Amino acid sequence: MLAIDLTGKVIVVTGGGTGLGRSMTETFVRCGAQVAICGRRSHVVEEAARALGPAVRAYTCDVRSWESVEAFLGKVVEDFGQLDAVVNNAAGNFLAASETLSPKGFRAVVDIVLIGTFHVSRWAGAYWIANKRSGHILNIVTTYTDTGCAFVLPSAAAKAGVQALTLSLAYEWAPYGIRANAIAPGPFPTEGAWSRLMPGRNFEEEYKKRLPTRRYGEHAELGALAAFLLSDLAPYITGAVIPIDGAERLQGAMFNYLAQISDRETLKQAFEALRQATRSASE
Ligand code: HXC
Ligand code: NAP
C-alpha cells in the first residue's frame, strides 16, 4: 500500500488556526509531520494547537510585517531545529463593487495575500539556500488567477501575483532543491470564506446546484493533495498550479451551460432533433 508519509518533516502553515489551514494541518499531523501554525489572533491558533495535539505549535505572527515573519520563522527553526516546508495559506477577501473600494481596502487584502506570501517565501528560501537544505513552498491560490473575478478585485489581483511568484521561484530556486507549487481550490465551505463571500443561505444552495459535481469540496480532499505535494512522493512536481474544484472553473466554456440541464434525456432528444434537421436540410 502506498501511503503519504511526512514523518520527520517540519511544516509551517500560515493561517493554520482556522478553515482550510487548520484542516491541512490536521492531515499533515496524521501523516506524521510536526506543524507550526500562525495567525494574528493568538487565542485562535492556541486553541487549534491544543485541539490538534502535541505535534502542532502555535505562534502569533502577522505575515504583512517582515519583522513579524522573521521573528516567527526564526523561532520555529529554534524550536524544531529545522524547517522543511511553508504553506502560504493566510488570506483576506471580501465582496465589494470595485468602484466603491477604498485604497485601504485594496491594500488590506494585497498586503496579506501577496506581500505576506513574499515575506514567508523569502525568509524560507534564504534559510534553505544558506543551510544547503531542500525545501518546499506551497501557495494556496484560487481558480480565478488567470481569469480575474468580479467583486473580489483585490483578491484576484493578489492571487494572480502569488501565482506568478510561485512560477518564478520554482524556476529560480530549482537548482537549490527548492520546489514551489500552488493549489487552486474551488469552493470549500469555511466560516472565514462563507461569512464574507456568501451573500445568503439561498445563494449557497443556488451556487451548489450550478457546480458540475453538485457539491462543495471537502476539507480532507484538499488536505490529501497538499500532503501528497509536500511528501517525498512528489519530488519532480514543481512550478505547478493544481486546481481542486470539481471542474467548477470550466463553466465559462461555450457549451458547458448545457451541462446545467439535469434532464439529460431531454437534452439528448434535442441533439437528435438538431441532427435530423441538419441531415434533412443537406439532402
Ligand atoms: C468593503 C471593506 C470590507 C468590505 C473591509 N474593508 N471589509 N471594504 N467591503 N466587506 C475595508 C475597510 O473599510 C478599510 O478601509 C480596509 O478595508 C481595512 O479594513 P480593516 O477591517 O481595518 O482591515 P483588517 O483588520 O486588516 O482586515 C482585513 C480584511 C478582513 C481582509 C478586511 O476581512 C480579514 O481580516 N480577513 C481575514 C480572513 C478572510 O478574509 N478569510 C477569507 C479568505 S477566503 P477604509 O478605507 O474604510 O479604512 C478566500 C477565498 C477565495 O480568499 C475564493 C472563494 C471561492
Ligand atoms: P479563513 O479560515 O478565513 O483563513 C484565513 C486565515 O488567515 C485565518 O486563520 C487568519 O487568521 C489568517 N490571516 C489573515 N490575515 C493574516 C495575517 N496578516 N497574518 C497571519 N495570518 C493571517 O479562510 P479559508 O477559507 O480557510 O481560506 C484559506 C485559504 O484558502 C486562503 O488562502 C483562501 O484564499 C484559500 N481559498 C479558500 C477557498 C474557500 O472556498 N474556502 C477557495 C479558494 C481559495 P487571523 O485572522 O487570526 O490572522
Q: CA 199 to CA 20: how far, in whole Å?
A: 20
Taking 90 as the threshold, does the pLDDT of residue 202 lie above it?
no
- Second-level CATH architecture of 10-282: 3-Layer(aba) Sandwich (3.40)
**Residue length, the chain?**
283
* Rounded Cα distance, 190 and 254, in Å: 31
Q: How confident is the model at residue 283 (pLDDT cuts 50, 70, 90)?
A: confident
Residue 110 CA to residue 106 CA, distance in Å, equals 6
Domain residue ranges of the chain, discontinuous segments joined by +: 10-282
Task: Provide the pLDDT confidence category of residue 184 given band limits of 50, 70 and 90.
Answer: very high
Residues carrying an active site annotation: 144
Give pLDDT, residue 199: 85
* Type of residue found at 41: R
pLDDT tens for 54-111 read 999 999 999 999 999 999 999 999 999 999 999 999 999 999 999 999 999 999 999 9
Probe residue for ligand 2, chosen from 25, 62, 89 as the CB with the greatest number of ligand atoms within 8 Å: 89
- Reading the block at residue 157, the C-alpha cell is 489581483
- Ligand 2 pocket mutation pick from 22, 23, 35, 40 by most atoms within 8 angstroms of CB: 40
The answer to pTM > 0.95 is yes
**For residue range 105-137, what is the model confidence (pLDDT) as tens digits?**
999 999 999 999 999 999 999 999 999 999 999
Give the tens place of pLDDT for each residue, 222-265.
999 999 999 999 999 999 999 999 999 999 999 988 988 889 99
- Ligand 1 atom nearest 159 alpha carbon: 52
| Ligand 2 contact via 222 beta carbon (within 6 Å) | no
pLDDT score recorded for residue 282: 84
Give the residue from 39, 5, 35 showing the smallest Cα distance to 19.
39
Question: What would the pLDDT profile of 148-179 be if each residue is shown by its tens digit?
Answer: 999 999 999 999 999 999 999 999 999 999 99
